[in-house]
Structure formats: C-alpha cells, structure tokens
Amino acid sequence: MTGETEFDARIGTVIQDFDVEVERGLLRLFARAIGETDPIFFDDEAARKAGYRGVVAPPTYLYCLSEDVPDPNAAIHAFGLDPADCVHAEQEIEQLRPICAGDRLHGETRIEDAFEKKGGLLKFVVTATRFTDPAGMLVGRLRTTIIASEAD
Amino acid sequence: MAGPMPFETGAELPPLEIEPLTRTTLALYCGASGDYHPLHVDTDWVKANTPLSDVIGHGMLTMAWLGRLITGNFRTEQISRMATRFVAPSRVGDRITCRGVVVSVDRTERGSAIGFELVAETAEGKTLATGSATIEIEHTTEEAPAA
C-alpha cells in the first residue's frame, strides 16, 4: 500500500525506455482485426501510390507499440497496485507524421501525474509516452490514464 | 489567406456501423495488439476469476473503430490528435455504431483545424466510449504527400 502523502512522489519517473520496430505483418493483422479495408493498411505498393513510405499504421496502433515492452503494467507496478484492480480510463494519441512498416522508433514513458480521490479509494495514474525517430524527431505522443479502485 | 472553411459546426460524419462483435474479432485483436489478457478471450477464465459471465472487448478496440470513422474520411496524417474516455466495455454480439460531429472549426497557419466529438454506442443506446479528434486540413495543397 502506498501512503496518501507519498502517492505523487513518482511523478516524473521514467518507467519505460525502449526501441520498437513497426512490423508489416503485425500492421496487417491489426488492420484486419479492427476491420480496416483500405489497401494502404495492407499493401506496400498501394501505400506508396497514396504517398506513404509503406504499409500505414492505423491511428491507434501507436498505443500497441507502447505495450511492446517487457512489462506493459510497469506504471501500475511502480505504485504497488494490482493490475486486476485497474481500468484503462482514458487514452490520448497525438501523431505528428505517418507511422509506416519498417519504422524504427524510440519510446520513453514517464509518470506524468498521480493523485487520489475519495480518500484514497480511487487512485489515478497518468503516463506520458514520447516516440522519436532515429534522427531524434518527435513522431507521436500518448497520454494514458489508469484508475485503480480498491473497492473492486 | 486561407481558403473557405470546409466544415461547419454541427456537421456529422456518415455513421460507421461495425459488424456485430464476435469472439474471432476479439481473438484477432488480442494477437494484433499484444493485449492478450484472458478477460478478452477466455470465457472459462472470466467465469473463474471475475464476477462477469463472459469476456469483454478491449477499450482500445473501441478506440480503433472511432479511428476508422476518421480514416474513412481523412488521411491518417490529418489526424493530429485523438482522445477517448472509456465508459463501458463492449460485449460479444454488440452492434456498435461510431459517430462524429464537428464541434469547432479554427483557422491555423496553413488551413483549418476541425474539432470532432466522437461517440461509440451499441444498438441499445449504451455508450461505450466518448472522445474527440482534431483534423488538420491544409488549404494550400489539396493532398500533401506524406513524409
């Protein structure tokens, strides 16, 4: 159990620092799973004709890249919480340029905010992830809000 | 100066109707997203370990459908921001519709930023997720080539 007064002590801590490659096969499977039918999400040639470098990642795929780490629940564990008590409450995604098959990205996730409500019964953990390309340019950002409820 | 505004507040995107949710779709999404928590795919586990009687869909799958509502009408790089609040989980058999309405139109240096309010709801009228998206439209070049 984390004490109320020290619950926000981890704000700013980096909890993930990782490299990911955007894989063509997984992009195709993802597009199929979510029901996309546009060939830019399946075929390099179609994507290039449409002005992209290759098979395109649907807009929410960036979130999956942030989960491609040894411990996707690192934020929850950092606070000593049980993933079974947690829900993914809110998600924000910003993308500065298209993400395509073959891209190599660097991700860094830090604790952006942490606070309690209802006398500690509800705990909010907000993480922020930045993705950069090999040149160090920012390509996208995620903001994830997790709520842990002791009442569960 | 930028050209005329292509959208007006209150304009609606054509609603996107999702095929009734199947276990196959949830299994596919588990593999594709990397989120293979048994809560989304293993009914036996759900019955043994939760108060629920069946699997529930991924919140991020609902958000992906809201993304499809946008990619069906704009190029992916025009989506500068998407945000979603997960209200209720989807269930197998749900017939889900995604809707988007223009709530703001702002001029930017290169064109317009269109703000949408988004909602995913079941045929019974249950809201699964609410959200917003910002679409950047350049007025000078019709279809800017991707980076």
Residue A104 domain flag: yes
The answer as to whether A55 is a domain residue is no
Mean pLDDT of B99-103: 97
- Residue A133 in any domain: the answer is yes
pLDDT for residue B4? 53
Q: Answer yes or no: pTM beyond 0.90.
A: yes
In this structure, what token pair is assigned to residue A93?
A: 């995604």
> Would the CB atoms of B77 and A95 count as touching at under 8 Å?
yes
For residue B147, name the pLDDT band (cuts at 50, 70, 90).
very low
**Mean predicted confidence (pLDDT) in A93-108:** 97
**Gap between the Cα atoms of B33 and B17, Å rounded:** 22
- Of B29, B35, B76, which is closest to A67 when you measure between CB atoms? B35
Residue with tokens 């470098």: A53
Q: Give residue-wise pLDDT tens across range A62-82.
A: 999 999 888 889 999 989 999
Q: Minimum mean pLDDT among A32-41, A47-56, A115-124, B14-23: which range? A: A115-124
Asked if the C-beta of B41 comes within 8 angstroms of chain A's C-beta atoms, the answer is: no
Which pLDDT does position B1 carry in this prediction? 46
State how beta strands A138-149 and A122-132 pair: antiparallel
Q: For residue B86, give Cα distances in angstroms to A122, B20, B90.
A: 16, 19, 10
For A90, the domain range is: 4-22+62-149
3-state secondary structure (DSSP) of residue B18: coil
DSSP state letter for A66: H
Question: In the numeric block, which tokens belong to residue A114?
Answer: 């942490």
Q: How many interface pairs between A and B have CB atoms less than 8 angstroms apart?
A: 108
Domain containing residue A120: CATH number:
3.10.129.10
Q: pLDDT, tens digit, for every residue of A22-37? A: 999 999 999 999 999 9
Reply yes or no on whether the pLDDT at A5 is more than 70: no
**CA gap A67, A37 in Å, rounded:** 24
Predicted pLDDT of residue B40 = 95
Segments in chain A forming alpha helices (H): 24-34, 44-49, 61-67, 74-78
**Amino acid (one-letter) located at A107:** G
The sign of the CA dihedral A22, A78, A142, B21 is positive
Mean pLDDT throughout A115-136?
95
Residue A140 has pLDDT above 90, yes or no: yes
pLDDT of residue B13 exceeding 90, the answer is yes
- At position A8, the amino acid (one-letter code) is D
Say if A35 falls within a structural domain.
no
Cβ neighbours of A58 in B, within 8 Å: 64, 67-68, 71, 76
What's the pLDDT band for B6 if we cut at 50, 70, 90?
A: low
pLDDT of residue A70: 86
Q: Examine the pLDDT at B58 and tell me if it is beyond 70.
A: yes
- Contact yes or no for A60 and B77 at CB 8 A: no
How many structural domains does chain A have?
1
The CATH number, out of the four listed (3.40.30.10, 3.40.109.10, 3.10.129.10, 3.20.20.80), of the domain defined by the range B16-21+57-138: 3.10.129.10
pLDDT at A144 over 70: yes
